[in-house]
Amino acid sequence: MEVVNKVKVSRVIEILIFISVFINSYIFFRYPFEGYLHYLIFLGLIPVFMLKYGYPKYLIKIYIWFIVVGLVSVWSGIYPMFDFIKVFGGMFLTFTFYHYVLKYYQFNLLQLFSVYLKWSYIAAVIGIIQIVSFKVGFLYGYNFRWIFNKWGVFEGGVLGLRINSIFAEPSALAAVLAPAAYVAVYNLIHKKNFILSKIASITILITYVISSSSTAYLGLLVILVLVITTIKFRYLLISLGVGLFFLTTIYGVSDDFKSRVDSSIGLWVYQDYSIQNTNTSSFVLYNSFHVAIESVKEYPLFGTGIGSFESAFEKHSLTKNVEVIAYDFEFNTTDGNSLFIRMLVELGLVGIFIMLVLVVKGFIYLRTEDELIQYKIISQAILILLLLNLLRQGNYFLNGFPLFILMYYYNWKQYKKAVHVKSEKFKLNE
């Protein structure tokens, strides 16, 4: 599908916008907070946008809730003021910036999504170059530490190297490229070329699979269910069967994936805290969920305020209980590696309810192919990213997450308007 009524934008500004989405593997400093490259972009462009568009009043109304809950918790001694300022400042900058991005593109979401897909294709190509370089022994082609200082080499996986391309780790690739993977699967199954060519779709899908990320594999399972069931709902069992066969195959060939599955079963089913289970990312999720449950028992409705997860971790983590964990280690103390868990602690049941309402209302399911198909594709593609972030990414702001939330919401609003216009035209033609 070609983008119609394209908005004329500055090439430089467009590049800066998508650098803020795709490049978070370089930081200027780590303390007192991590100074990412995108903060410079925000601070440089927000004043320009603000002079042109003014400040969005609806964001101010949203911020008031975070300010009230956060400051009440700070004054109650639940967590330090700096932690609130640090996270609220990040929220203020990112949501403000990405609101302006939508304004800059005049809410042409198809155009914006098309640019995102092109960047995803480039990232996927770099992923292919990475694995080829690894196989031939070209260090600078697969180890990008000479470019990015918050980036790692992850050996293992299906081909001996877990691909992360320009992202800090494979799970970040899995989250950011999830909408592109959805479009790739959609194109290949439906024999379409929605924005991406067949070659681009295959390339993105290959990189997504060889990332050897359990997050990516979960994303693919959900993608298969969504894409295949849009043909006919009775194919749900087929899509689940294909997905489970794929996961079973990966379980057999990837030691990393097998380790994560086994440790998850050991923790969630048997509460086995032996070192082989606790020294994995599975334990991070398990421990963070324990922290969230204990915290929400004390502060169920509104949570303890944004930025307070670290204090909740210090209070409730299983690693603080020597009777449970006999050795000292800590992972993801500030975000829990799951946005759902972090929101449960910091925003409470009310915050979770609002997020779930947004996810459910913004979901668009169409059984037939028609002129409104772009809304369904954008909705379902972004839904995968939202779900993966809620499950396995604990940062509110990295990799343009607020941009995708705003696109998801406005895509739903535009869809409702398009349906209304279509209905009115139908009535006039009767």
Tokens 């849009």 locate to 230
Question: How far, in Å, CA of 272 to CA of 270, rounded?
Answer: 5
- DSSP letter for 2, please: P
The single residue listed with the structure tokens 């020597």 is 322
| Cβ 110 vs Cβ 8: under 8 Å | no
In tens, the pLDDT along 85-120 reads: 999 999 999 999 999 999 999 999 999 999 999 999
Whether the per-residue pLDDT at 424 is higher than 80: the answer is no
What is the 3-state composition of the chain as percent helix, strand, coil, each rounded to the nearest 5?
70, 0, 30
Distances (CA, A) of 124 to 51, 157, 164, 223, 397: 37, 17, 9, 18, 22
Please name the residue that has the structure tokens 């209070």: 315
Q: Which amino acid is at 67?
A: I
Residue located via tokens 């780590």: 30
Q: Does the bond joining 32 to the residue before it have cis omega, within 30 degrees of 0?
A: yes
Angle between the 81-104 and 37-53 helix axes, to the nearest 10 degrees?
60
Percent with pLDDT over 90 in the chain: 55
Identify the residue whose tokens are 């022994």: 137
- The predicted model gives 120-128 an average pLDDT of 97
Taken in order 49, 404, 345, 315, the sign of the CA dihedral is: negative
Please name the residue that has the structure tokens 């400093």.
29
CA dist list (Å): 27 to 39, 278, 413: 10, 29, 36
Q: pLDDT digit string (tens) for 364-413?
A: 987 655 778 899 999 999 999 999 999 888 888 889 999 999 999 999 99
Alpha helices in 105-235 (DSSP H): 109-136, 139-142, 170-176, 178-190, 198-210, 214-229
Lowest mean pLDDT of 180-184, 375-379, 408-412, 423-427, name the range: 423-427
Q: Are 243 and 224 in contact (CB under 8 A)?
A: yes
> Do the beta carbons of residue 162 and residue 215 sit within 8 Å?
no
Residue-wise burial string across 390-408, b where 16 or more C-beta atoms lie within 10 A, e elsewhere = bbbbbbbbbbbbbbbbbbb
Band (254; pLDDT cuts 50, 70, 90)? low
**b/e 128-159 (16+ beta carbons within 10 angstroms → b):** bbbbebbeeeeeebbbbeeebeebeebeebbe
User: How confident is the model over 131-164, as pLDDT tens digits?
Assistant: 999 999 999 999 999 999 998 888 887 788 899 9
The one-letter amino acid at 219: G
Q: What percent of the chain has pLDDT over 70?
A: 81
Q: How many angstroms separate the CA atoms of 56 and 43, rounded?
A: 17
Which residue type is seen at 211? S
Q: How confident is the model at residue 323 (pLDDT cuts 50, 70, 90)?
A: low
**pLDDT confidence of 23, banded at 50, 70, 90?**
very high
DSSP 8-state code for residue 7: P
